Amino acid sequence: MSSLEKVIELFKRFPGIGPRQAQRFVYFLLAMPPGFRKELAGAIASIGNDAKRCLECGRFFSGSKHTHCSICSDSARSAEQLLVVAKDIDLANVERSGLYSGRYFVLRGTIPVLSKEPNKYIATGALKKLVEARVEKGLREIILAFPANPDGEHTEREIRGLLSPITDKNNIIVSALGRGLSTGAELEYVDRDTIRGALQNRS
Ligand SMILES: [Zn+2]
């Protein structure tokens, strides 16, 4: 395999990137000065050095001296709500909307409907521990915000079941983000008005 083909193969592994887009990226890189390719390669190689997962919400953030991200370190944020999303990018989109001021947790994916080992895929253990810890700090509601597709709905049921011993005992509401979102819509892509509607219509 030539290095050109190799880079196309690597780009094809990115989320949402097909063969044609991968090819377009490679031609773009070839058209740029060699210095750009070096800079890009260097930045990619060092991305893991200062990015790590927040010990509370689990999202990636950069800041090698800290254990908690800027959101989780912000004491002005409401302790009453915890929004659980599937991916880092979902959290980023909700946060950008400026419409939510509670806490977050990133589950790191959804549970496939036919999965026999649900806990293999996602950070369920860490979520359970976080909910237990947040109960002491005034948690009132857990909002589940998974994609409107079969895996997302399956994940919602599994997480409700997983948390029910804690939520029942402490009278914590478990709601789901309202589906102003059409079927298959992903939180990652929806606009601010849709996020507003989904937050208002949670049930
Ligand atoms: Zn955090």
Average pLDDT, the chain: 90
Percent of the chain with pLDDT over 70: 93
How far is 158 from 113, CA to CA, in rounded Å?
10
Mean predicted confidence (pLDDT) in 158-164:
94
Contact by Cβ (8 Å): 198, 179? yes
Ion ligand 1 contact residues with beta carbon within 5 A: 54, 56-57, 69, 72
Q: Which of 111-125, 152-166, 172-186 has the lowest mean pLDDT?
A: 172-186
Q: Token pair of 184, please?
A: 């298959």
Is 52-200 a CATH 3.40.1360.10 domain? yes
Confidence of residue 118 (pLDDT cuts 50, 70, 90): low
CA of 123 to the centre of ligand 1 (A): 14
How far is 63 from 103, CA to CA, in rounded Å?
19
CA of 103 to the centre of ligand 1 (A): 8
- In tens, the pLDDT along 18-51 reads 999 999 999 999 999 999 999 999 999 888 788 8
DSSP 122: S
Mean predicted confidence (pLDDT) in 113-138:
86
- Looking at residue 197, its pLDDT comes to 84
- Looking at residue 185, its pLDDT comes to 64
CA of 176 to the centre of ligand 1 (A): 21
- In tens, the pLDDT along 184-200 reads 567 888 888 888 888 88
CA of 183 to the centre of ligand 1 (A): 29
Confidence of residue 121 (pLDDT cuts 50, 70, 90): low
Q: Which of 16-25, 115-124, 148-157, 186-195 has the lowest mean pLDDT?
A: 115-124
How far is 91 from 77, CA to CA, in rounded Å?
15
CA of 97 to the centre of ligand 1 (A): 17
- In tens, the pLDDT along 82-106 reads 999 999 999 999 999 999 999 999 9
CA of 105 to the centre of ligand 1 (A): 8
- Looking at residue 16, its pLDDT comes to 87
**What is the topology classification, in CATH, of domain 3-45?**
Helicase, Ruva Protein; domain 3 (1.10.8)
CA of 146 to the centre of ligand 1 (A): 18
For helices 19-31 and 3-12, what crossing angle results, to 10°?
A: 130
Residue 12: which H helix or E strand, with range?
A: helix 3-12
- Looking at residue 50, its pLDDT comes to 81
- Looking at residue 61, its pLDDT comes to 93
CA of 33 to the centre of ligand 1 (A): 38
CA of 67 to the centre of ligand 1 (A): 9
CA of 158 to the centre of ligand 1 (A): 23
CA of 34 to the centre of ligand 1 (A): 37
- Looking at residue 156, its pLDDT comes to 92
Instruction: Provide the residue ranges of all domains of the chain, joining segments of one domain with +.
Output: 3-45, 52-200
CA of 35 to the centre of ligand 1 (A): 35
